[in-house]
Amino acid sequence: MSSVQEKIQSLRAELELYNYNYYVLSSPTVSDKEFDDKLKELQELEELHPEYYDPYSPTQRVGSDISKEFTQVEHQYPMLSLGNTYSEEDVKDFYERTAKSLNEPFEIVAELKYDGLSISLIYENGKLIRAVTRGDGIRGDDVTTNVKTIRSIPLRLHGNNFPEKFEIRGEILLPWSEFDRLNREREEQEEPLFANPRNAASGTLKQQNPAIVASRHLDAYLYYVLGEELPSDTHYGNLEAARQWGFKIPDVIRICHSLQDVYDYIAYWDEARKNLQVATDGIVLKVNSLRQQKNLGFTSKSPRWAIAYKFQAERAVTRLNSVSFQVGRTGTVTPVANLEPVLLAGTVVKRASLHNADIIEKLDLHIGDNVFVEKGGEIIPKIVGVDFDSRGILVGEKVRFVNKCPECGTELVRTEGEAAFYCPNENGCPPQIKGKIEHFVTRRAMDINIGPETVEDLYEAGFVKNVADLYELRITDLLSLERWAEKSARNLMESLRKSLNVPFERVLFALGIRYVGETVAKRLARAFQSMEKLEQATFEELVSVDEIGERIARSVIDYFTEPRNKELVSRLKKYGLQMSLPEDALQGQSEVLKGLVFVISGTFSKHSRDEYKEMIERYGGKNTGSVSGKTNFILAGENMGPSKLEKATKLGVKIINEEEFLRMIEERV
């Protein structure tokens, strides 16, 4: 073995141990910097020596940009759902039914029921081979590439006393801290918030880009081992063995020897769960002995040897004092209930979302009503009903959605098919103006080093009334404000100077055009190549771009039809912002595929799916996600989706492989 290979293997072993200590044992043994330095060193060595490539290397956890459709995989053991109960009486019935069926002593293993996405992990010879979602219980999606980015899931097991092949099941979770961070980012962009960590985890694991999955720091708790040659004849014993192999097995699992033990466990965790780092929604009870499990068997839908006890949703009753209406960056008006403070799920709740006019009408709210507020699995408190029995004759007026903007008085509008009302006065409504500036300076947009408080100060002082005014700021302007020193003023000026190098697609995103998020901005930038061409684009040209629908197209046209927006863009161009794609990005672009519609399906060897999509768009073609009568070609790789193949055959759509596609481009160019 060469010294380079030895070094690579040594680094891999070190990093695997650091990962295990940090993500499974929660006992880091090195600093983040030391870990990152070693990971970078390993990455550089692997790039220089591809002959030592290993799919189980710690460097493979970061997630590449290669994406692929998920293929369906049948479970060796069906993933059945558990019977649910919400009462201790039902738990007693389960316990007594089990005792009667077995007619011998038994133990119950009590576990927390984690509120995430069920996952099945297959290991062979100590290596992760496949990860499959629950799906319909019979088959699920193969999400192995994404699961490999989750650092608490071992790619290679510890020791050598594990079965040659086995399956371990558990839950993919998004910790509360990461959930809060994601929702803060989405709130900044006025994107819909994730309702709860479960939805966020599920949506994350189904991302087509593993790099996005890696960035969201999912976690995994494992709780069930299956296989032919397991080390123990008890459920608890197999979990303890799995812990030694490197799996993150919850340390809250307990063996109960009596019904009272079960009740005590439920009572404790009904309160203590509020302090956990991840969401839970109940308790799972399982017969410990595998022999006894086998004897008890299954119903058509669930095992007879297990049951789930669900916690009641956190609910409180409090008085509705008033309803206020907030205006966001894009003009969306959101109603917020102001409540008499009440303790709910460990925090004092003073406000709750009412979402939109339809929900207000459905609830039949009146000021002074006693309302039911729930948190449950939701991080954002919401009003779920009114205590009509307590409504007296002195109750206040009925809550109605406002018809004028509470900030600028403009008549609100509501787009057909949408729930929200919004203020159309985007250039004259203070919250929208300040919101646009705050959006413009964010890290994912222009990355200018100021926050909301500074934006507020600059706006109130009259120095900045739109984003273009930022580039006319002078150091003397900043020094005239409170809390500003020369160093911080110069830092801002330097940040503004650096923002002139931000690429065109981010400049487009920074403008804050309604419905134009990061992904849409990239597609528009690639399709039209410059701000000038985008300004002149017709409705038909816009909707011909992949994933640009009528709503987005109309919004873009409306934006550039407004004279003040055109003037703003003109000023930004004058100050030196990037208003087109660079020459190297334009090289090789042509119209050889113009008018042709492609669907990509399967996995490829020469290029990634994203690269093929980019090629199709670069050469003037259009990508779509589904096969229709308008589809000209299906670019098919391995494991092409069976439904796409069936539809293509039915419609007579031509199927080509990647060699034929690349030859098509070469011949036409």
| Paired residues of 140 in beta bridges | 73
Residue 553 has pLDDT above 90, yes or no: yes
Whether 115 and 211 share a structural domain:
yes
| pLDDT reported for residue 66 | 38
Whether 127 and 249 share a structural domain:
yes
pLDDT greater at residue 301 or residue 123: 123
Whether 478 and 604 share a structural domain:
no
Is 531 contained in some domain? yes
Whether 210 and 248 share a structural domain:
yes
Is 412 contained in some domain? no
| pLDDT reported for residue 336 | 92
Between the alpha carbon of residue 34 and those of residues 24, 175, 216, the distances in Å are 19, 24, 22
| pLDDT reported for residue 288 | 97
Q: Of 188-197, 247-256, 294-303, 526-535, where does mean pLDDT reach its minimum?
A: 188-197
Whether 288 and 378 share a structural domain:
no
| pLDDT reported for residue 191 | 65
338, 351 contact by CB (below 8 A): yes
Give backbone dihedrals phi and psi of 583, rounded to 5 degrees, phi first.
-60, -40
Rounded average pLDDT over 229-256: 95
Name the pLDDT band for 408 (thresholds 50, 70, 90): very high
Question: Which tens digits make up the pLDDT trace of 295-329?
Answer: 998 876 789 999 999 887 778 899 999 999 999 88
Residue 345 belongs to domain with CATH number: 2.40.50.140
Q: Annotated active-site positions, please?
A: 113
Whether 438 and 492 share a structural domain:
yes
H-only helix segments in 461-517 = 475-479, 486-498, 504-510
Q: Which class for 286: exposed (0-12), middle (13-18), buried (19 or more C-beta within 10 A)?
A: buried
| pLDDT reported for residue 522 | 85
Is 555 contained in some domain? yes
Task: Give Cα 62 distance to the centre of its chain.
Answer: 16
157, 187 contact by CB (below 8 A): no
Residue 402 has pLDDT above 90, yes or no: yes
Whether 267 and 329 share a structural domain:
no
Residue 42 belongs to domain with CATH number: 1.10.287.610
Is 395 contained in some domain? no
User: Kindly report the CA angle at 452 between 446 and 458, in degrees rounded to 5?
Assistant: 90
Q: Among the ranges 45-59, 458-472, 533-547, which has the highest mean pLDDT value?
A: 458-472
Rounded average pLDDT over 42-59: 81
What lies within 8 Å, CB to CB, of 252 at 6+ separation is 111, 112, 269
Nearest to 344 by CA among 382, 388, 385: 382
Residue 597 has pLDDT above 70, yes or no: yes
Question: Which tens digits make up the pLDDT trace of 220-234?
Answer: 999 999 999 999 999
Residue 613 belongs to domain with CATH number: 3.40.50.10190
Whether 122 and 269 share a structural domain:
yes
Domain with 19, as residue range(s), is 3-62
Residue 171 has pLDDT above 80, yes or no: yes
Whether 159 and 181 share a structural domain:
yes
Q: Of 254-263, 470-479, 516-525, where does mean pLDDT reach its minimum?
A: 516-525
| pLDDT reported for residue 3 | 83
Is 191 contained in some domain? yes
Residue 65 has pLDDT above 50, yes or no: no
Whether 482 and 567 share a structural domain:
no
Mean pLDDT across the chain, nearest whole number? 87
Residue 525 belongs to domain with CATH number: 1.10.150.20
pLDDT greater at residue 626 or residue 543: 543
What lies within 8 Å, CB to CB, of 640 at 6+ separation is 601, 602, 634, 655
Task: Give Cα 52 distance to the centre of its chain.
Answer: 33
The H-or-E segment that residue 654 falls in is strand 654-656
Name the pLDDT band for 83 (thresholds 50, 70, 90): confident
Q: Among the ranges 93-107, 330-344, 608-622, which has the highest mean pLDDT value?
A: 93-107
Question: Which tens digits make up the pLDDT trace of 92-103?
Answer: 999 999 999 999
Give backbone dihedrals phi and psi of 396, rounded to 5 degrees, phi first.
-75, -170
Whether 122 and 182 share a structural domain:
yes
Residue 558 has pLDDT above 90, yes or no: yes
Rounded average pLDDT over 394-417: 90
Q: What percent of the chain has pLDDT over 70?
A: 92
CA distance 516 to 523: 10
Nearest to 521 by CA among 501, 532, 507: 507
Residue 488 has pLDDT above 50, yes or no: yes
Q: Of 350-354, 552-556, 565-569, where does mean pLDDT reach its minimum?
A: 350-354
The tokens for 355 are 């979402």
Residue 168 has pLDDT above 70, yes or no: yes
Last-in-domain residue among 310, 330, 348: 310
Q: Of 19-23, 138-142, 184-188, 248-252, where does mean pLDDT reach its minimum?
A: 19-23
CA distance 446 to 449: 9
Three-class DSSP category at 142:
strand
Whether 263 and 238 share a structural domain:
yes
Is 69 contained in some domain? no
Name the pLDDT band for 36 (thresholds 50, 70, 90): low
Last-in-domain residue among 441, 469, 501: 501
Number of domains in the chain: 6
Question: Rg of the chain over CA atoms, in angstroms?
Answer: 29
Between the alpha carbon of residue 527 and those of residues 21, 505, 531, 620, the distances in Å are 47, 11, 11, 8
Rounded average pLDDT over 588-594: 71
Last-in-domain residue among 453, 486, 501: 501
Is 410 contained in some domain? no
Q: Of 72-76, 320-324, 444-448, where does mean pLDDT reach its minimum?
A: 72-76
Is 124 contained in some domain? yes
The tokens for 318 are 């409090």
| pLDDT reported for residue 64 | 43
